[in-house]
Amino acid sequence: MGRKRSNKPTSFDIAYIAGVSQPTVSRALRGSRSVSLATRQRIEAIARELNYSVDKNASSLRSQRSNTIALLFFEEPGPEESAINPFFLAMLGSITRSCASRGLDLLISFQKMEDDWHVRYQDSHRADGLILLGYGDYTLYERRLTDLVEHGTHFVRWGSVGANNIGSTVGSDNFGAGQTAGEHLLGLGRKRIAFLGQADEHYPEFADRYRGLCAALAQAGISPQPSLQCDALNFEEAGSEAVRALLETGIEFDSIFAASDLIAIGALRALAAAGLRVPEDVAIVGFDNQPAASMTNPPLTTLMQDLKAGGELLVETLLAQIEDRPLDNRTIPAQLIARRSTLG
Domains of the chain: 11-54 (no CATH), 64-171+307-331 (3.40.50.2300), 174-306+336-343 (3.40.50.2300)
Cβ neighbours of residue 36 under 8 Å, at least 6 residues apart? none
pLDDT given for residue 147 in this prediction: 80
> What stretches in the chain show pLDDT beneath 70?
1-7, 31-34, 54-64, 76-84, 112-125
pLDDT given for residue 61 in this prediction: 45
pLDDT given for residue 58 in this prediction: 52
Is residue 298 classed exposed, middle or buried when 0-12, 13-18 and 19+ CB atoms within 10 A define those classes? middle
pLDDT given for residue 252 in this prediction: 96
Q: Is the pTM of the predicted complex or chain greater than 0.85? A: no
Is residue 174 classed exposed, middle or buried when 0-12, 13-18 and 19+ CB atoms within 10 A define those classes? buried
pLDDT given for residue 283 in this prediction: 98
Distance (Å, whole) CA 113 – CA 237: 23
Angle, helix 307-322 to helix 86-101, in steps of 10 degrees:
50
pLDDT given for residue 137 in this prediction: 85
pLDDT given for residue 279 in this prediction: 98
| CA proximity to 240, closest of 269, 275, 272, 276 | 269
Distance (Å, whole) CA 195 – CA 197: 6
Collapse the DSSP code of 256 into the 3-class scheme (helix H, G, I; strand E, B; otherwise coil) and give the result: strand
Cβ neighbours of residue 132 under 8 Å, at least 6 residues apart? 72, 74, 155, 156, 157, 158
pLDDT given for residue 125 in this prediction: 67
Distance (Å, whole) CA 246 – CA 227: 9
| DSSP label at residue 311 | H
pLDDT given for residue 1 in this prediction: 41
